[in-house]
């Protein structure tokens, strides 16, 4: 089926999901929105059951993290462009599905396309200063409609279904963090190009936190970081800046 399939996990905090759904009402070109409930214990299941139109939901039998929920949503999706999105992100342009699909389908060798990312990634998996690109409403760093990046942040990741199938599903070992950087680097290694596009958004933050493995977020992040570094140790650091950009950045250090 032609069109955008949006996949968004949710876990408790039903008010966040309600605002998210409201923001998608009237979105142009959104074929379907699949909400994946990660075993919420509040009123989230009851609310999801009331949704109609392009909205549907699936309740996981257990909470295995964001990567697993995104993969489940991809199995259920029917669109030719998949958008993996956090439910605490609000996009302010109602035509964003049409714009994203036009960019993804019309850009040669487009890999992962997002709203936040970085041209450079350090050996420890962190993103680097001036190389960070985003379209945050009112303070975005983009000066053009698009910019090529090394990695795309998981708050919004769009790609052709065929690209997703070629580079492989999300690695479910990355239950919460680094799943986005892992997928981005697999896209690059398959010779695709990753981009951040200028579509303004706001991010509430912390809406996708879960109780996976009963770990604190900090200890879970550290464990995922070690896994990421071990997986990509031969490919880090990463940098997609042009030579002119590298020279300009180097000059800024000494001027």
Per-residue model confidence as pLDDT tens for the chain (255 residues): 789 999 999 999 999 999 999 999 989 999 999 999 999 999 999 999 999 999 999 999 999 899 999 999 999 999 999 999 999 999 999 999 999 999 999 999 999 999 999 999 999 999 988 789 999 999 999 989 999 999 999 999 999 999 999 999 999 999 889 999 999 999 999 999 999 999 999 998 755 555 444 457 789 999 999 999 999 999 999 999 877 777 766 666 544
* DSSP strand pairing (55-59 vs 30-37): parallel
Q: Are 210 and 62 in contact (CB under 8 A)?
A: no
What does the DSSP 8-state code read for residue 29? T
**pLDDT in the model for residue 254:** 47
**Which tokens hold the place of 240?**
């997609």
CATH architecture of 4-253: Alpha-Beta Complex (3.90)
> Which residues are 211's β-sheet partners?
none
Q: Using only C-alpha atoms, what is the Rg of the chain?
A: 18
Buried b (16+ CB within 10 A) or exposed e, 59-77: ebeebbbbbbbbbbbbeeb
Q: Are 25 and 51 in contact (CB under 8 A)?
A: no
Nearest to 165 by CA among 182, 187, 180: 187
Query: Does the predicted model carry a pTM greater than 0.85?
Result: yes
Q: Return the domain boundaries, the chain.
A: 4-253
């Amino acid at each position: 089926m032609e069109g955008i399939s949006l996949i968004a996990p949710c876990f408790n905090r039903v008010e966040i999901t309600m605002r998210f759904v409201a923001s998608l009402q009237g979105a142009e070109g959104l074929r379907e929105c699949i909400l994946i409930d990660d075993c919420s214990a509040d009123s989230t299941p009851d609310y999801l059951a009331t949704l109609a139109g392009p909205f549907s939901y699936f309740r996981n039998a257990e909470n295995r993290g964001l990567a697993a929920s995104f993969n489940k949503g991809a199995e259920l999706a029917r669109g030719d462009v998949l958008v993996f999105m956090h439910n605490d992100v609000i996009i302010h342009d109602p035509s964003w599905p049409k714009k994203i699909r036009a960019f993804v389908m019309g850009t040669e060798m487009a890999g992962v396309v997002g709203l936040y990312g970085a041209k450079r990634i350090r050996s420890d998996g962190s993103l680097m200063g001036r190389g960070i690109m985003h379209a945050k409403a009112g303070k975005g760093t983009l000066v053009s409609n698009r910019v090529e990046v090394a990695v795309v942040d998981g708050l919004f990741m769009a790609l052709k279904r065929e690209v997703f199938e070629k580079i492989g599903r999300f690695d479910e070992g990355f239950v919460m963090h680094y799943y986005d950087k892992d997928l981005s680097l697999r896209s690059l290694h398959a010779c695709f190009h990753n981009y951040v596009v200028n579509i303004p958004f706001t991010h509430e933050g912390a809406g996708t936190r879960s109780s996976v493995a009963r770990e604190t977020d900090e200890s879970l992040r550290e464990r995922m970081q070690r896994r990421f570094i071990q997986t990509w140790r031969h490919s880090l650091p990463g940098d997609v800046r042009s030579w002119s950009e590298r020279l300009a950045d180097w000059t800024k250090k000494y001027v």
